Structures are given as structure tokens and as C-alpha cells.
Chain A
């Protein structure tokens, strides 16, 4: 059987164009990966990783599991469009294959099968096929209807702000939205005219052809359906719909172990193109929800970078809190890409020639309080009290003058200046001969662990104290205090430390767990990664964050970052905001003695001198 009609040209040409462009882009991206990344692909492509990736493509690209978790309707919308369309293609192909007894057909045949074949009486399982095809079409159309609704009002789909789109995006969107209604119309008219179709198209078709002149719609509708498909395919490479093919590639590359590095790579291009511009990141961003800054979120930033039109404003207006990284259903490393973009901008004239070489006394454990620690002496005092109680031999390496860890410069893109400070600090740390470095500041901990290249382990004090408490070296007796815990961004999403502070607090009192915690926890607003927001704005953010952790229903608000503590304290005088260590001191039963001044003095001396 020779199936052909001129109207298939727009569809076929569009599809061909799409396949060629996508293939060319993919090949280009993969070719430009660096040697290490290519090595990862080679090592993993024939292993389990590929199977896992395939599974993730099914659950994410087709079923959209993560979007379902965010909002049922939004998930359903994506799922019905993606999975429904996919099933339509698969079933359409099966139907054609069955009918033509396994013959190879041009790709347009299954798409326009109802046009080419009106009499399906020789088709095996005809009833099932026609029913399923109609059912799937309705399934997809239900998603399209939701998409219309989302355009009109995005609230019911759990989104406060939908992404603002460019013209070409709107064109693509319109053609996408027209595809399925047109398919329904074309198939229905055909079914009405030829007594074919399934339960729905037949019924609808009969209704339509009973209207005068409806038969004149026959060819125009098939043409329109084909053109809408062709237009959509051609627009894909130039619009956000490029995310559909690219997300698949991203899932595979990620499963092979490829991640963002500390500069843009060709993998970044894959991530940029995998962003669907769904806008979920906008709602996760407190700059938008608290401060009304709704034009700098990841969706806009990624788009600007993809179009090579990014601005200082977009690069800098972000707290790098990492919330949108975890909210993003595609799993794009938004904040890392933004940080790398900051690294791309030319360095400022920074001159640290004046920084001397700093030394500290030797000790088993090097303790670093950091700049923020110096502004919160009570945290340092509490931590050292606990060290003394547990008999830790430490040396407080920044007790007198020391320099900044470099993280604030790093998050502002001043990498080489940060390195200069890191070098000095590294000398200081290594000079103490310590076996481990402990810091009360997650900001310092992050750069120590990620960029210093130290030969000794780096612990945040909550990790270190947890070891002491778990081994019984630090004796804690729970009090009856109700405590809520705030996850600092750099500690939680940054370093993945969620459990140790919580376990410690359980040793000391009753921990109340709140809904938006761990990866979903809010930023205190104090972030050093943004300079353009002022203190009042920071307080505005802090107040909401305190609310979100139920600060008013507990005795103490605990956090594990001196900057969070400072920011919260500045925003609220109603709540008692303490570092985990300060709460532990209240519960520490072997600290009673060491808290006495003269004893404390003695332990301190022995611990710092040796």
C-alpha cells in the first residue's frame, strides 16, 4: 500500500529538521566534554548506570515523578502530555504495523493513519486499538486543557508565578497546544464522514458532520494538524522545548557521574538546554517570595546564559542558597552554574600583599571560629567549654588576629583573591600539626572542605561534637526544652550535613521537626553571596524563615551558623536564638566543673600549650 498525500510534508520536513539539529547539538556537546568527563562516559556506558538512566528517563521525562511530588495537577499535566503522547506514538505505530502486517512505513504513516485508512475491518484487535487511541488522545487533551488553565491562572497548579516567555516560545507553545485539538478535529471529521474511529471521535465526528458544510473541513484540518506538528518541531531547537530531548541526555550524563566543575564545561550547555523554564525555581526563591525580586531566578539566568546575553544583574542577584537546585525537577545545578559565571567576570583589583604569615600554637585539634565566630563570642565560648568538658586537646588558631577563610570572596567570584587567603590559612592550619580542623562556621567549613585541599579532615563543630557525644566522651542529659532547628544553607544543602546537629539536639532536649527543613529549609537571609540587598530586606527574609521553623512555639531556636544566628537576632527580639553548642552547654553534665573559671583556665592552658 502506498500511503502519501502532500499534507504530510510539513510534518515530515519538521521532524527531519528536528532530528538533524538535535543530533548535531548532542554530538557537539559530547565532543566538547573534557577528557575526564569523556572518561566517565566510557567507563560507565556499558554498565548499570545506563540502565538506571533509562529508568530515570521513564520516571522523570515521561511520568514526571518529581513534579507530581510538588503538585498533583502540575504533575498530571506534564505526565499526560509526555507519557500520553509517547503512548499515542507507540500505539499508533503498533496499529499501523498490525494493519500492514509488519511492513516498514514512513514515519508520517502512523501519525496520519486515520486519514489513510478508513476501513479497519481487517485490523486484528480493531476494537481495542480504536478504543485505546481515542482514550489516549483524550488523556493528552486533558493535559492540554490544564496547560490552558495554567496560562490563565497558575494558582491551582501550585505555582504562584509562571515564567514570562519570549515570542518564539509563545509561537512554539501555541503550535503545541493546537496539535492535539487539531488531531481530535481531523480524526473526528474523518470518523464522521467514513463511519470509522473510536468511541469518542466517532461520536464527535457524527455531531460535527451533521452541521452543514462540515465535510469541507476534511482536508484543511489534516493540513492544519500536519502544519502545527511541523511548526512545533522546527521551533524546538530555538525554544525551551529543546529541554525535551536534552533532559534525556542530561540524565544519562549525570548517571555516568558527570557534574558541574568549578568552571563552565560543555556539560553546562547540556544543563542550560535541559531547563524546561517550568518556573518552579521562582517560587522556591525567597528573593521572589519575600522581596518581590522576581526577575533574577534561575529560569531567567539560565536562559540569559543560553542566549549568551547574561548580565551582571542576573549573575549577582542570587543568594546562592541552593534552594532552587533542590526544587528543580530536572535537577539542574543552578547555583553552581551561577557561581561559575561569577568566576568568569574579570577579577577586581584586590591586594592582599599586607597579610602577614600567621602562626598558632600546636595542638591535636585545630579550632577555627572565623570572622563570624569573632562576632558571636558566645558560640566560640560554648564550643570550647564543651571541648574542655570532653577533654579535647585543641588549639584555637584564630583566637588573635586572623584573616577571612576566603569563602565570601569566592562566592562573589573573586577566586584568585580567595586562593591567596586560602594559601595563608592553609599554612596556619598545617603549621599546628593538628589531626583535624574544626570550625563553628559552615561558611568556612565549606571552603576548607571543598577548596583548601587539606590533608586532614575538616569537621563542622556539630559533626565533631556529635562524635564526642555518641562515644560518651561528652555527657549530655536532655532537658525538657522544646527546640526547633534551622538548617544553614552552607551546612545543609552546601555540605549535606543535616543529621548530626539534629542528633545532638535530641541529646539536649526535645527537637521539633518542621515541614520546610533539610533540603527544603529556607535561607536566613544573611547570605554573603549577595551584596545588593540591604539589612532591612535581610530581616524581612529572616522573619519569614523564623516563622517557617515555628520559632514562636518553642523555647529555643537552634542553628549551627554564627551568621544565621546574627541575622535572626537582628530580625527578632522575641526569640531566643542559639547555636547548637550553646544549647548543648545547658545539657552538658560533665561541663559543670569545667565551667568554673579557675578550672576552665587550667584546661585551656594545657590544651593550647602542648
Chain B
């Protein structure tokens, strides 16, 4: 198999009625481009941090949508803010802003 540098996630099921999606709601309000992500993975494929560690902006967005705010916040701490992902994203998701907002949320989200 060709190595693309990233692999699909193991399927997992989340009950969105029970999940705490506050962070996702808050982010969509603060930066509506959060809702534009199609999980294509372009951001992760180009990610500078992702070359050295298991870190993916796409996965982080998933975690947020599934209500795993804690994991997402821990993930966001790895980003170098280099900006490659913003330029790579076909949906114009304002990735660096979302990372910054997630980082700030560590103090504001329960």
C-alpha cells in the first residue's frame, strides 16, 4: 500500500445526544469556518508537527465534535502555528485561529 503519511481512524461510535459538544458549539460561534471542515486531511498531510508526532488537526476537530474536549485541548498544545495547514485547506478553514481558540478554551471550558 502507498504510504500517504496518514491512516484512516478506527471507526468509533459516539452518541451525540449524550456527548458534551459545548466546545464545538462555542468554536462554531467564534469562528464559523470550523463548520466547513470536510475531514479531507490535507491539513494533517502537510502538518509540520505531524512529521514528528501523532498529531492531526483533522483528528482534533473530530474529537471536538465528538465531545472529547480534553483530548482536543491536549492535542492543540502540539501545534507550532506555522500556518501550512491554513494554506493547504481546500475549505478555507481558519485552522490557526481554531487552534488558538482551543488553546484559550483550556481555561474557559469545564
Contact = CB atoms under 8 A, between A and B. Distances in A.
Interface of A: 348-352, 354-356, 371-372, 374-375, 401-404, 406, 408-409, 412, 414, 421, 528, 531-536, 563, 566, 570
A528 B87 CA distance: 11
Residue of B78, B79, B81, B92 with highest tally of chain A CB at under 10 A: B81
Nearest to A532: B97
Interface stretch (B9-17, B21-29, B58-66, B99-107): B99-107
Contacts of A356: 52
A404 B48 contact: yes
A403 B51 CA distance: 9
Contact of A351 (B77, B81, B92): B77
Interface in B68-108: 73, 77-84, 86-88, 92, 94, 96-97, 100, 103-104, 106
A536 B31 CA distance: 13
Contact of A348 (B48, B51, B77, B82): B77
A116 to B, nearest CB: 65
B53 interface: yes
Contacts of A355: 52
Residue of A348, A372, A375, A528 with highest tally of chain B CB at under 10 A: A348
Main secondary structure of the interface of A (DSSP, over half): loop
A404 B80 contact: yes
14 contacts: A348-B106, A350-B77, A354-B53, A356-B52, A371-B83, A371-B84, A401-B52, A403-B52, A404-B80, A409-B81, A528-B83, A534-B94, A536-B92, A563-B83
B20 interface: no
Nearest to A351: B77
A354 B77 CA distance: 11
A404 B81 contact: yes
A157 B82 CA distance: 41
- 9 interchain residue pairs of minimum CB distance: A354-B53, A531-B97, A404-B80, A535-B92, A404-B82, A348-B103, A371-B82, A401-B51, A408-B81
Contact of B81 (A402, A412, A536): A412
A324 to B, nearest CB: 23
B76 to A, nearest CB: 8
A408 B51 contact: no
A375 B86 CA distance: 11
A57 B31 CA distance: 47
Contacts, number: 83
B49 to A, nearest CB: 8
B70 to A, nearest CB: 12
Contact of A531 (B84, B88, B100): B100
Given A354-B78, A356-B52, 10 more contacts: A350-B103, A351-B77, A375-B46, A375-B87, A404-B48, A412-B81, A412-B100, A414-B81, A532-B31, A535-B94
Residue of A350, A402, A406 with highest tally of chain B CB at under 10 A: A350
A531 B83 CA distance: 10
Interface residues on B, range: 20 to 34
Contacts of A533: 94
Contact of B80 (A374, A403, A532): A403
A348 B80 contact: no
Contacts of A409: 80-81
A408 B55 CA distance: 18
B83 A372 contact: yes
B42 to A, nearest CB: 11
A328 to B, nearest CB: 28
Contacts of B48: 371, 402-404
A319 B31 CA distance: 18
B97 to A, nearest CB: 4
Contacts of B87: 372, 375, 566, 570
Contacts of B55: 354
Contacts of A372: 83-84, 87
A351 B79 CA distance: 8
B91 to A, nearest CB: 9
Given A356-B52, A531-B96, A375 B84 contact: yes
A362 B51 CA distance: 23
A398 to B, nearest CB: 10
Contact of B104 (A348, A421, A534): A348
B81 A528 contact: yes
A359 to B, nearest CB: 14
Contacts of A535: 86, 92, 94
Nearest to A563: B83
Contacts of B73: 349
A215 to B, nearest CB: 68
A564 to B, nearest CB: 12
A349 B82 contact: no
A414 B78 CA distance: 13
A348 B103 CA distance: 6
Contacts of A406: 80
A414 B49 CA distance: 16
A314 to B, nearest CB: 16
B22 to A, nearest CB: 19
A408 B82 contact: yes
B81 to A, nearest CB: 4
